[in-house]
Amino acid sequence: MQQNIEKIWKQIHTELKTFIAKKVRESDDVEDIVHDTFVKMKLNIDKLKDPSKINAWVYQIARNNINDYYRAKSKYANHGTSEITEDKLIEEEEDEMKILLRTRQFSDYAASVINQLPEKYREAVFLADMEGMNQNELAQKLNLSISGAKSRVQRGRQKVKELVLLCCDVNTDVYGNIVDYAPRETTCKKKC
């Protein structure tokens, strides 16, 4: 799916940036929102139920990011300018970047965990989550019923989760986004 994500991103990037620029005036903020949209798309692609609706899904992520942007601006405006220093804004931006970096590192680690799965689960999870294959195609490829293919992917994902949680403590926000993780030195053979 990694190659598919980048291919899809190349196809919609320009139009998406134009869409965001119509709603946000500052070009640096537009770039930040475009980047955040890509990161969220990459990290949450496995939650997309219908791959044929990926464009609508990405635009919804962008709309949510735009709303978050204006919510944050409103929050700062309500505090009054005297309370907000440039240093504080820079510190908050650095914290956000650290979270994005940690999330990306964790995503790369979780993808490497897929390779540790038994073959039947590895193939099912790889085809579904990394290649973006829908359930019908997956069932045909694996010579399984649709419900059998779904079960295999779900079991594989559960095994990935178990392996990750065996090695790492993972903290998520209310939306399920990873906000932090820490390796458990005693049980982890491979660093996350």
Radius of gyration of the chain (CA): 19
The 10s digit of each residue's pLDDT in 20-41 is 888 888 888 889 998 898 888 8
pLDDT at position 141: 92
pLDDT at position 45: 82
pLDDT at position 134: 86
**What whole-number distance in Å separates Cα of residue 135 and Cα of residue 143?**
12
pTM (2 decimals)? Answer: 0.45
pLDDT at position 38: 87
Tell how many helices (H) and how many strands (E) occur in the chain: 7, 2
Q: For every one of its 192 residues, what pLDDT tens digit does the chain have, with 9 covering 90 and above?
A: 445 777 877 888 888 888 888 888 888 888 999 889 888 888 888 888 877 788 888 888 888 888 888 888 776 655 554 455 566 666 666 666 666 666 666 667 777 888 889 999 999 988 887 777 888 999 999 999 999 999 999 999 888 888 878 888 877 777 666 667 777 766 565 555
**Which residue(s) pair with 171 in the sheet?**
180
Q: What domains can be seen in the chain, in order of their start residue?
A: 1-84 (1.10.1740.10)
pLDDT at position 13: 85
State the Cα angle at 94 between 88 and 96, rounded to 5°: 105
pLDDT at position 140: 93
**What whole-number distance in Å separates Cα of residue 40 and Cα of residue 59?**
11
pLDDT at position 148: 93
Q: Phi and psi for 168 in degrees, rounded to 5?
A: -135, 150
pLDDT at position 155: 93
Task: Give kind and range of the element (H or E) at residue 140.
Answer: helix 135-142
